[in-house]
Structure 1
Amino acid sequence: MADGISSFWGPVTSPEWCEKNYVYSSYIAEFYNTISNIPCILLAIIGLVNALRQRFEKRFSVLHLSNMALAIGSMLYHATLQRVQQQGDETPMVWEMLLYIYILYSPDWHYRSTMPTFLFLYGAAFAVVHALVRFGIGFKVHYAILCLLCIPRMYKYYIYTQDMHAKRLAKLYLATLFLGTLCWLFDRLMCENIAGWYLNPQGHAFWHAFMGFNSYFANTFLMFCRAQQLGWNPKVVHFIGLCPYVKIQKPKTQ
């Protein structure tokens, strides 16, 4: 904790990251780890507006809202470093991955109601257990397994997509995931060394920023692929030349 600034939230009850606590405000424990979630929220709003405006399936609106909820939960966790807020960060992480699994695999699911029912019950059960038990490394392993389950399907979508702009989205998704993971590992494994540096590179904050873009690129790529499956003639265009999004042209019968 920084000298002269007290904690509004009381003693820390959750794991801390490699950033000094309460340096700028008594209301924000880890300042950079908190504000670095803002890009994810802004990008989720852009994705949500696009999904609603073009009347994509509700699953994509829920997905963007899930990204937003996850970022807000992460902000609350890093601002307070409290056990309850940590759950508000980690539980949405699992829910979000279950939603990705549903979107990725639902086109090949023969029993339409079985998959969402199972994933919903799994997510609800995890939330209850996670509220009662501290997982620690078990949570990270569980989350990594859910992420790995998504990779084969993402690769299948990539190799079957001919549009170069859509393929670029998939490459940006991988690049931001790789860079974000490096930042996370650097912050976690090198913290003792970083503590002695004059300037903290804020690896965990960069992880948040990269993962905000990562989620947006993944969502946009999946929107493109789903629009192709439905025959909506999708194109990847850019807002003011920078932010990619999917523009569709539905058949008049739809």
Structure 2
Amino acid sequence: MEDGVSSFWGPVTSSIECCEKNYVHSAYVAELYNTISNIPCIMLALIGLINCLWQRCEKRFSVLYTSNLILTIGSMLYHATLQHVFQQSDETPLVWEMLLYIYILYSPDWHYRSTIPTFIFLYGAVFGIFHFLLDLGIGFKVHFVILCLLCAPRAYKYYLYTDNIKARRLAKLYVATLIVGCLCWLSDRLFCKAISDWPINPQGHALWHLLMGFSSYFANTFLMFCRAQQRGWTPKIVNFLGFLPYVTIEKSKSQ
């Protein structure tokens, strides 16, 4: 029994809970808002994946959008059940996704084309096993932040070397949504006790999901544009219905 409602999934076994009361709206969904807030993220990942396949982008971007999709589905399962096994399906894909970003950002300078991807794949697999067995907790968070910091200087270099106004706007949107999303996450974690006494819970963790979904989409679109330029293609950024940006690519007939 959680917050007065019978729990279909049994007792909570996850090591982390957010500032949303459990099983308030349904016996089948532990945290409703944190669960449904992943739906727009799934839609964005699918839109990006479909466009990537339509434009015949490099496979790395198809894998990246598939990683986004796996992450959001894992997050839905975790927040719907609050079970330890699904906590791993939320956290481990975060690390895999950052490893993909490291690969995409740094790959133009790597000389060993097969060795580095193999190392990254094995690193991600070993981390997933260790995290599942040991539940690294704060170690996971520190590790994730380190991976993010490794991406930052290279992403900034891409921004500096891009003179396309729309591409630069995408990079700024990525940073803005990332910062605001992190503030929502921190507020939900640090001020939960005070927030719980408010008439309406602002659902900071659900807002984090939504903003990070857009942040990932903006980052992916920006990197697709930059990578297409590196390959000598002719990328353009256009807006669907005047709102959602995406990349179109024109390749020479030989490509």
Task: Please state which band the TM-score falls in when normalised by the shorter chain.
Answer: over 0.9
Distance in structure 2 (CA, Å) of the matches to 1:250 and 1:231: 8
* Residue in 1 that maps onto 2:22: 21
Please, what TM-score do these two structures have when normalized by structure 2? 0.98
* Residue in 2 that maps onto 1:205: 206
1:85-100 alignment to 2 at 5 Å?
Answer: 85-100=86-101
How many matched pairs? 253
Please, what TM-score do these two structures have when normalized by structure 1? 0.98
* Residue in 2 that maps onto 1:220: 221
Classify the secondary structure of the residue corresponding to 1:179. Answer: helix
1:14-53 alignment to 2 at 5 Å?
Answer: 14=14, 15-53=16-54
Distance in structure 2 (CA, Å) of the matches to 1:190 and 1:128: 33
Aligned residue type for 2:55: Q
* Residue in 1 that maps onto 2:7: 7
Distance in structure 1 (CA, Å) of the matches to 2:113 and 2:59: 15
Aligned residue type for 2:70: A
The alpha-carbon deviation at position 24 of structure 1 amounts to 0.7
The alpha-carbon deviation at position 2 of structure 1 amounts to 3.1
Distance in structure 2 (CA, Å) of the matches to 1:162 and 1:133: 46
1:180-191 alignment to 2 at 5 Å?
Answer: 180-191=181-192
* Residue in 1 that maps onto 2:105: 104
Structure 2: gaps spanning 5 or more residues: none
Distance in structure 2 (CA, Å) of the matches to 1:195 and 1:103: 41
Structure 1: gaps spanning 5 or more residues: none
The alpha-carbon deviation at position 136 of structure 1 amounts to 1.2
* Residue in 1 that maps onto 2:81: 80
The alpha-carbon deviation at position 232 of structure 1 amounts to 1.0
The alpha-carbon deviation at position 240 of structure 1 amounts to 1.1
Moved over 4 A (4+): none
* Residue in 2 that maps onto 1:166: 167
Classify the secondary structure of the residue corresponding to 2:26. Answer: coil
The alpha-carbon deviation at position 198 of structure 1 amounts to 1.1
